[in-house]
């Protein structure tokens, strides 16, 4: 310890920082000692034996006992002047009264011949300086008080120039790498500074001597170099001094500060969503604020929808501007997600090695009320009731939670308060299914719903929440009625109201009974399905296949007087059953509750099957170009004689050129004298089919009549027609009035016919296909163009052409090849006075029409 009361005696190795640390407990107060002792702050040089005043320190030393005479001085300072190598300076202390002055003698020793004196001087002040000769290796000063009242005693001090401190080295240079490694270099060190090493003093944040290091001076070239790892987030500056052995020289000036890689901010202090604009559609951003870092120039903000993306480098990032401070508003960010944020610091050395702790915020808006529906509005006891809702997001987020409110009342006891049930339902479905429709199932068999019975009403509504925790408005309140399951029974009756399993004759009945009484049937659907595959004929006489599972009858019925009891009569007029085949009847009843019930019954058909002779007589009228058909149906009686079949109705169909059938008449009695008129028989051959239906069994027989040759070579056009399908006089001898009336145009001349047909097809080009894909419809385009020359003197034909050209309606056209159909027609002709004929063009397009 070199402290002497309120002063400090300097020993080798002392520095002002260490002295301040020892005296005040704070090395930063070294400047107070320097200022009190006249020491330059820029150098801070002190010397061994130097006595330093300690400001603001009270001496604790015991007072010396009074002396009779203080006959000698006490040296306070004896050392080289700062920055010199030969100028000596001494100060002393002496407080004895009656002292007239001091005799000062300076001596030097060259190492040869002993001490040499510079003479003695008497001074009045308590200090002296002297420039020692260049050959002096040591100097000595002797001070003796001069007084006439006492005898002064001489006191000497010596100084050896071998203890001179080293000279001042050049200013150091240093840098800190992005890996926080500090490298300090001292180049071109002059060998005259008389040092063997350099001490680097590294200061942290301007006030704290963080580390000192003494390194050897390397030769050729003379330099010193030191590296160390510094702490991130701080600034550093350096000064150095030369060292020879244990003797330290003065410090160089400080370098400028340099920064290490910064530390991360302590934490994100503010993280909130913020409305940026409400024009057109509302847009949002996220405001982020964090603790400021002194060594940071800017900051980097990273965000992601999954915190694992920070480690994969897939997170989004944005840097702040220099001078912007520790805050930023992130824009251009999608609604409907939970975002995770962290912040790092940035300066010229790079980005902090760590980031703030991750914080999260939900960016979204309140969803709209959800869309709701249920699998039924009438729940059945014992079955599941599914309540569905669709989350209507306004920010693109998926549903996170739903709040379901149910109000259950007993309609039979409306005075009782309803039961209120609220359920909060978390969306825990897998990520790929989170956007699907949500459902809550009420299992009416579950004990939780055991109190719900017939006639109860469940009113329900729901709210949903998205990425933010705010729920939507309530959905529309929906209502579900709870019912017992309906029932329906079906039985098969004969015409005597007796239950049977087999059909032997017509009519027969389907007897249907439904319940419960609390629900009212509003409709019945009846269908009959074949359980066999067989071949039969239809009402036109065409052969058709009936496969297993085909519906041969289906119809809806509205119940009348007693809706719970329904009886359906089946006759040959409304169902076609094949003998020796099995069928199933299915009945579905729909209740006013919205519920349905179904019943089935299988039965066998066993009827007597008879075959009949069906034919017709055909007569063509060459004046009116129509045909008269007399259909009939015969059978053999017990005497093997042909007689007309009783209880039978007939139908006549014209076979067209394309194989289709046109109904001429039906429900024709099977009797003498009944005839049918076909106003448009084909002009090449007249072809007809006659179909007979037995009224009691529904059995069908038919015959294709042998074609009757017509052989008309003209084109015939008819319009504005009125005709009677079939008629008989009182004696059964024929029609009592004309069969038809209307307008007719006959073209007997050489006619050039051009026909054009096309099917409906759309061709679609697809990428990746070599050719287009065809899609066919049911529409068929059929047209023709007829060209002929009419002699100019055939006034009647030309008059008919003019009348037809102004007719607004469809025209039935026939031409000798056998074609005939209803058509829309346009006519053009060119009348030249010098020509003997009038060229006429008929443009025809086939349209839908009847007979």
Distance CA 605, CA 680 (A): 41
Q: Which of 93, 18, 82 is nearest to 47 (CA)?
A: 82
Determine the Cα–Cα distance for residues 736 and 733; give it in Å rounded to an integer.
Answer: 9
Specify the higher pLDDT residue, 739 or 41: 41
Residue 60 scores a pLDDT above 60? no
Q: What is the DSSP letter of 367?
A: P
pLDDT at 167: 84
End-to-end distance of the chain based on CA atoms, in angstroms? 138
Of residues 123 and 466, more confidence is placed in 123
Q: Which residues make Cβ contacts (< 8 Å) with residue 410, sequence separation at least 6?
A: 416, 453, 455, 456, 457
Sign of CA dihedral 572, 577, 579, 585: negative
CB–CB of 680/814 below 8 Å? yes
Superfamily of domain covering 173-259: Immunoglobulins (2.60.40.10)
Provide the 3-class DSSP secondary structure of residue 155.
strand
User: What tens digit of pLDDT does each residue of 277-286 get?
Assistant: 766 667 778 8
Return the pLDDT at 732: 47
Per-residue pLDDT tens over the stretch 644-703: 888 888 888 888 877 777 888 888 898 888 888 898 999 888 888 888 887 776 677 777
pLDDT tens sequence across 432-479: 788 889 999 988 777 778 778 777 889 999 999 887 778 999 999 999
Task: Work out the average pLDDT over 411-428.
Answer: 87
User: Quick check: 126 and 141 in contact, CB under 8 A?
Assistant: no
Domain with CATH 2.60.40.10 in the chain: 3-163, 173-259, 268-363, 368-483
Q: What pLDDT score does 755 carry?
A: 81
82: phi then psi, degrees, rounded to nearest 5: -60, 135
Average pLDDT over residues 114-138: 91
Q: Which CATH architecture has domain 268-363?
A: Sandwich (2.60)
Q: How far apart are alpha carbons 459 and 478 in whole angstroms?
A: 6
Quote the tokens at residue 129: 């300086």
Does the N-terminal peptide bond of residue 428 adopt cis geometry, omega within 30 degrees of 0? no
Nearest to 361 by CA among 337, 330, 343: 337
Residue 19 CB neighbours (<10 A): 21
Is 465 buried (19+), middle (13-18) or exposed (0-12) by CB count in 10 A?
buried
Residue 580: burial class (beta carbons within 10 Å; 0-12, 13-18, 19+): exposed
Phi, psi angle pair for 30, to nearest 5°: -60, -25
Report yes or no: 648 and 702 within 8 Å, Cβ to Cβ.
no
Q: Per residue in 510-551, pLDDT tens?
A: 999 998 887 889 899 999 999 999 987 665 556 778 999 999
**Element at 800 (helix H, strand E):** helix 795-805
Q: Write out the two tokens for 502.
A: 């087999």
713-738 burial: b if 16+ Cβ within 10 Å, else e? eebbbbbeeeebbbebeeeeeeeeee
Predicted confidence at residue 280, as pLDDT, reads 63
In this prediction, residue 608 has a pLDDT band, given cuts at 50, 70 and 90, of low
CB 437 within 8 A of CB 390: yes
pLDDT band at 734 (very low <50, low <70, confident <90, very high): very low
Are 295 and 234 within 8 A, CB to CB?
yes
Over residues 769-792, the mean pLDDT reads: 82
Residue identified by tokens 């995770």 is 340
- Label residue 377 left, alpha or beta by phi (over 0 means left) and psi (-120 to 50 means alpha): alpha
Q: How confident is the model at residue 817 (pLDDT cuts 50, 70, 90)?
A: confident
Question: What is the CATH topology of the domain spanning 368-483?
Answer: Immunoglobulin-like (2.60.40)
- Using alpha carbons, select from 191, 128, 194 the residue that is nearest to residue 161: 194
**The domain over range 495-605 is classified in CATH as 3.30.1540:** no
Tell me the fold of 3-163.
Answer: Immunoglobulin-like (2.60.40)
Over pLDDT 90: what percentage of the chain?
Answer: 33
Is the model's pLDDT at 94 over the cut of 70? yes
Query: Is residue 737 scored above 70 in pLDDT?
Result: no
Residue 735's pLDDT is: 47
Task: For residues 333-340, give the mean pLDDT.
Answer: 85
372 beta partners = 389
Measured at the alpha carbon of residue 164, what is the angle toward residues 160 and 165, in degrees to the nearest 5? 155
**What is the C-alpha to C-alpha distance for residues 779 and 823, in angstroms, rounded to an integer?**
15
Cβ neighbours, 10 Å, residue 440: 17
Rounded mean pLDDT of 173-197?
Answer: 89
Q: What is the pLDDT of residues 763-780, one digit of tens each?
A: 888 777 778 888 777 677
The mean predicted confidence, pLDDT, of the chain is 85
Please, are residues 669 and 631 in contact by the beta-carbon 8 Å criterion? no
State how far the Cα of 267 lies from the Cα of 270, in Å rounded to an integer: 9
pLDDT band, very low/low/confident/very high, at 740 (cuts 50, 70, 90): low
Q: At 191, give phi and psi (nearest 5°).
A: -70, -15
252 Cβ contact partners less than 8 Å away, ≥ 6 residues apart? 168, 169, 170, 171, 172, 239, 240, 241
Question: Alpha carbon of 148 to those of 107, 143, 151: distances in Å?
Answer: 26, 16, 7
Among 268, 309, 276, 315, which residue's Cα sits nearest to residue 292? 268
| Structure tokens belonging to residue 240 | 């150095």
- DSSP per-residue string spanning 166-185: P-PPPPPEEEE-TTSEEEEE
What does the block give as tokens for 426?
């978390």
pLDDT tens for 241-276 read 999 888 888 889 999 999 899 999 999 999 888 777
Average pLDDT rounded to a whole number, residues 559-572: 82
**Burial class of 468 by CB neighbour count within 10 A (0 to 12, 13 to 18, 19+):** buried
The whole-number pLDDT of residue 488 equals 93
Reduce the DSSP state of residue 233 to 3 states and report it: coil
């Amino acid at each position: 310890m070199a402290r002497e009361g309120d002063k400090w005696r300097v020993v080798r190795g002392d520095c002002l920082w260490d002295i301040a640390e020892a005296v005040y407990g704070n090395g930063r107060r070294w400047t107070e000692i320097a200022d009190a002792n006249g020491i330059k702050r820029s150098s801070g040089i002190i010397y061994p034996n130097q006595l330093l005043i300690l400001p603001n320190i009270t001496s604790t030393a015991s007072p010396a006992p009074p002396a009779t005479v203080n006959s000698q001085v006490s040296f306070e300072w004896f050392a080289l002047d700062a920055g010199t190598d030969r100028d000596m300076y001494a100060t002393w202390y002496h407080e004895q009264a009656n002292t007239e002055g001091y005799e000062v003698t300076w001596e030097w020793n060259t190492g040869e011949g002993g001490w040499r004196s510079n003479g003695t001087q008497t001074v009045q002040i308590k200090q002296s300086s002297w420039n020692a000769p260049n050959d002096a290796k040591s100097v000595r000063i002797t001070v003796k008080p001069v007084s006439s009242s006492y005898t002064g005693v001489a006191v000497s001090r010596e100084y050896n120039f071998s203890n001179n401190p080293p000279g001042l080295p050049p200013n150091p240079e240093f840098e800190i790498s992005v890996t926080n490694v500090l490298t300090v270099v001292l180049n071109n060190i002059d060998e005259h500074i008389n040092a063997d090493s350099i001490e680097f003093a590294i200061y942290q944040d301007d006030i704290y001597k963080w580390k000192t290091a003494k390194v050897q001076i390397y030769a050729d070239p003379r330099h010193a170099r030191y590296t160390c790892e510094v702490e991130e987030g701080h600034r550093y500056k350096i000064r150095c001094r030369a060292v020879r052995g244990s003797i330290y020289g003065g410090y160089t000036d400080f370098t400028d500060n340099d920064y290490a890689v910064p530390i991360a901010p302590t934490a994100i202090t503010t993280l909130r969503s913020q409305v940026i604009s409400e024009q057109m559609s509302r847009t949002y951003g996220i405001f982020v604020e964090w603790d400021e870092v002194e060594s940071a120039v800017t900051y980097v903000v990273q965000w992601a929808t999954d915190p694992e993306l920070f480690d994969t480098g897939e997170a989004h990032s944005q840097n702040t501007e220099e001078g912007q401070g520790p805050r930023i508003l992130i824009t251009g960010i999608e609604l409907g997600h939970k975002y995770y944020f962290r912040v790092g610091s940035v300066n010229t050395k790079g980005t902090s090695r760590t980031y703030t702790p991750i914080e999260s915020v939900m960016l979204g808006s309140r969803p709209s009320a959800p869309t709701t529906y249920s699998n039924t509005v009438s729940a059945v006891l014992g079955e599941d009731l599914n309540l569905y809702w669709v989350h209507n997001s306004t920010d693109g987020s998926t549903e996170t939670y739903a709040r379901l409110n149910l109000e259950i009342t007993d309609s039979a006891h409306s005075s009782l308060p309803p039961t209120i049930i609220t359920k909060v339902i978390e969306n825990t479905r897998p990520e790929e299914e989170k956007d699907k429709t949500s459902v809550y199932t009420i299992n009416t068999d579950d004990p939780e719903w055991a109190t719900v019975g017939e006639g109860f009403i469940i009113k329900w509504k729901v709210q949903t929440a998205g990425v933010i925790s705010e729920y939507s408005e309530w959905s529309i309140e929906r209502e579900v009625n709870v019912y017992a399951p309906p029932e329906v029974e079906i039985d098969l009756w004969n015409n005597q109201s007796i239950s049977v399993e087999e059909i032997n004759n017509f009519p027969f009945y389907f007897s249907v009974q439904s319940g419960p009484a609390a629900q009212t049937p509003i409709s019945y659907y009846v269908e009959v399905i074949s359980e066999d595959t067989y071949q039969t004929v239809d009402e036109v006489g065409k052969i058709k296949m009936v496969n297993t599972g085909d519906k041969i009858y289906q119809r809806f019925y509205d119940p009348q007087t007693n809706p719970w009891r329904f009886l359906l009569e089946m006759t040959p007029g409304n169902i076609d059953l094949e003998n020796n085949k099995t069928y199933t009847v299915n009945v579905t009843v729909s209740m006013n509750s919205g519920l349905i019930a179904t019943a089935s019954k299988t039965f066998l058909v066993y009827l007597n099957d008879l075959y009949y002779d069906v034919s017709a007589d055909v007569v063509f009228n060459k004046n009116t170009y129509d045909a008269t058909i007399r259909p009939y149906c015969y059978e053999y009686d017990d005497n093997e004689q042909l007689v007309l079949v009783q209880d039978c109705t007939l139908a006549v169909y014209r076979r067209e050129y394309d194989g289709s059938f046109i109904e001429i008449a039906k429900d024709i009695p099977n009797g003498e004298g009944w005839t049918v008129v076909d106003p448009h028989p084909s002009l090449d051959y007249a072809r007809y089919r006659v179909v007979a239906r037995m009224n009691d069994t529904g059995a069908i027989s038919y015959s294709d009549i042998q074609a009757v040759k017509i052989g008309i070579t003209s084109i015939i056009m008819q319009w504005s027609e009125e005709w009677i399908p079939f008629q008989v006089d009182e004696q059964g001898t024929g029609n009592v009035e004309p069969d038809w009336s209307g307008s007719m145009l006959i073209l007997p001349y050489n006619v050039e016919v051009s026909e054009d047909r096309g099917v409906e097809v759309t061709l679609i080009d697809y990428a990746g296909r070599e050719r287009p894909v065809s899609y066919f419809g049911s529409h068929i385009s059929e047209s023709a163009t007829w060209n002929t020359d009419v002699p100019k003197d055939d006034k009647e034909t030309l008059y008919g052409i003019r009348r037809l050209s102004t007719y607004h309606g469809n025209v039935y056209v026939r031409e000798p090849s056998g074609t005939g159909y209803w058509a829309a027609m346009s006519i053009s002709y060119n009348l030249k006075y010098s020509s003997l004929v009038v060229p006429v063009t008929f443009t025809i397009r086939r349209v839908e029409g009847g007979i």
